[in-house]
Amino acid sequence: MEKRELTCIGCPMGCQITVELEGQDVKSITGNTCKIGENYARNEVTHPERTVTSTAVVLGGDKPRVSVKTKANIPKDKIADVMKEIDAAVVNAPIRIGDIVVKNVCGTGVDVVATRNIEAD
């Protein structure tokens, strides 16, 4: 049986989690203090995912950039591709939190959304 030691990134607590694996089969998860940790550990050893946060160019706003995030996690190996699409995005002010900046980014089924309000200049 394979043992993997992980540090949970679900929240800033950073619980130390031990996962016991047989091939792709998760046998046990210990050390987590909540459900988020269990899900993180299960995903991390089978198909790791991350939320990507960045900024996109704003036109006609009171600020030059709007902060954005992937609305859900995306596969870790797609981070660079997702960044390319976010960097190419240009949005017009005004913008509200939750507005879609890139729809279905890189075919992941996940939208990139604004995380702050920008007023029209």
For another protein, the binding residues (CB under 8 A) are: 6-14, 16, 31, 36, 50-55, 57, 63-65, 67-69, 76, 79, 83, 87, 97, 115-117
SS in 3 state form for 37-48? HHHHHHHHHHCC
CB 9 within 8 Å of CB 40 = yes
Give the nearest distance from C-beta 67 to another protein in angstroms: 4
Give the nearest distance from C-beta 43 to another protein in angstroms: 13
* Closer of 33 and 104 to another protein (Cβ): 33
Give the nearest distance from C-beta 18 to another protein in angstroms: 11
Closest CA to 50 of 24, 31, 29, 78: 78
* Closer of 108 and 117 to another protein (Cβ): 117
* Closer of 23 and 35 to another protein (Cβ): 35
